[in-house]
A = this chain, B = another copy of it.
Amino acid sequence: MFSEEGGLSEVKTKAQAARRAAREVAVLSSDVKDQALLAMADALQSETARILEANALDLERAREAGITGALLDRLTLTPERVESMAQGLRDIAALDDPVGKVNRMWRRPNGLKIGQVQVPLGVIAIIYEARPNVTVDAAGLCLKAGNTVVLRGGSEAIESNRCIASIIGPAAEGEGIPAGSIALIENTDRKAAQMLMRLSGTVDVIIPRGGAGLIRTVMETATVPVIETGVGNCHIYVEKSADLDMAKAIVINAKTQRPGVCNAVETLLVDESIAPAFIPQMVKELQEHTVEVRGCKGVMDLATGVHPASTEDWHTEYLDYIIAIRLVSGFEEALDHIHQYGSGHSEAIITENYGVGHSFVDKVDAAAVYINASTRFTDGAAFGLGAEIGISTQKLHARGPMGLADLTSTKFIIYGNGHIRP
């Protein structure tokens, strides 16, 4: 019990310190923040050896626990990856500071001048899993947008995270960032994360970054406002007027270019009238790219090596070399399928018909709706928004790839000259 209580007091203490620091960080000049980001980058690179040593401990523990494949890869740091984290901080320093931007300003008939200005959110908590690079990215983005941050990474990466935090924190402080602005919760017990989620009044917003299970837990437990990120059950609908070569190229890209990410396609919907001309070749190409194809009856009739798809498949975000294919009678049925099973992330139509494309863009309710392009573009960098803290799949505050501006709130500023309300 002693260590647990000690651990929980760590959460409260660090969050409260972050809250105090937030008042100062909110009004720091861009120059101070940028100098700190550059110093953090330099410190990371010069301490590469120490980071790799810490990471080796995490990797050893992971291997002992039987972790392999993609998960082990995500946990692994190399000199190149450390350099890339440092470069990420330098890129953030080069972005425009979103704080203080006046979005609009107007004058009322009574002469009152009213403006709406971007201000930091305050204290941001990030709850994440095995990627140690999130520690650096999140700290950099939150700082640039004038926020303090409480980081709570997964137990798998605790040695790496602790080492990284011990490097970037002091480097930032050396450039005038108040102590406690970049806090890492070292207690990896579930109770520590739960406590963090319920510190309303101290923490302004929680952003979970990780799998569906983590995100669901945060949504259900938190009293602090949450920005939901990431689950992507994405569809591509090949409409009957589609350029079939374009459709094949986009499907292969959206499925195989990086299948483990949220903007990869999971289900393909195909108008039945073009299925005979499209499905056999499409399935063959997918299989050549080592993709397992699961299909409805109509698809199985048209191609070989197709496994039967169940309702569960329509619900599933595979994040793997698997795709589900379903034939639809036309636009309305495709729309209904996406409405019923989609997670509101990224949805695409392939069509040469102007009116159908127009309706798809209007009617599909998702963070990103595409005509004739791969769903893989849903990404802060690909959209040209700069670095990204995650992809919001909720409708409040921010939706889709979240850049620096999404880490700010607004306030109204009102300039009067003795104005009273009549």
Contacts and interface: CB of A to CB of B under 8 A. Distances in A.
Interface in A97-135: 106, 108, 112, 114, 116, 119, 121-122
B396 A400 contact: no
A380 to B, nearest CB: 11
A409 B396 contact: yes
A205 interface: yes
A419 B200 contact: no
A152 B381 CA distance: 43
A383 interface: yes
Interface residues of A, number: 68
Contacts of A252: 420
A417 B362 contact: no
Interface in A205-228: 205, 219-220, 223, 225-227
A38 B369 CA distance: 33
Given A225-B396, A395-B205, A368 B414 contact: yes
A257 to B, nearest CB: 6
Contact of A396 (B372, B397, B416): B397
A420 B257 contact: yes
B396 A257 contact: no
Given A395-B121, A396-B397, A374 B27 contact: no
A268 to B, nearest CB: 15
Identical chains in the assembly: 2
A365 B412 contact: no
Contacts of A205: 395-396
B23 A339 contact: yes
A279 interface: no
A403 B374 CA distance: 35
Nearest to A384: B108
Nearest to A258: B421
A263 to B, nearest CB: 9
A369 B414 contact: yes
Contact of A370 (B227, B374, B377, B416): B416
B114 A253 contact: no
Contacts of A414: 368-371, 373, 377
B200 A219 contact: yes
Given A112-B373, A396-B396, 11 more contacts: A204-B395, A225-B226, A243-B418, A250-B419, A254-B420, A257-B421, A369-B414, A371-B415, A373-B414, A374-B416, A397-B397
26 contacts: A23-B339, A26-B363, A106-B384, A108-B382, A116-B400, A119-B365, A121-B395, A204-B396, A225-B226, A225-B394, A225-B395, A225-B396, A249-B420, A257-B420, A361-B413, A365-B411, A366-B411, A367-B412, A368-B411, A368-B413, A372-B419, A377-B414, A377-B416, A396-B397, A399-B411, A401-B412
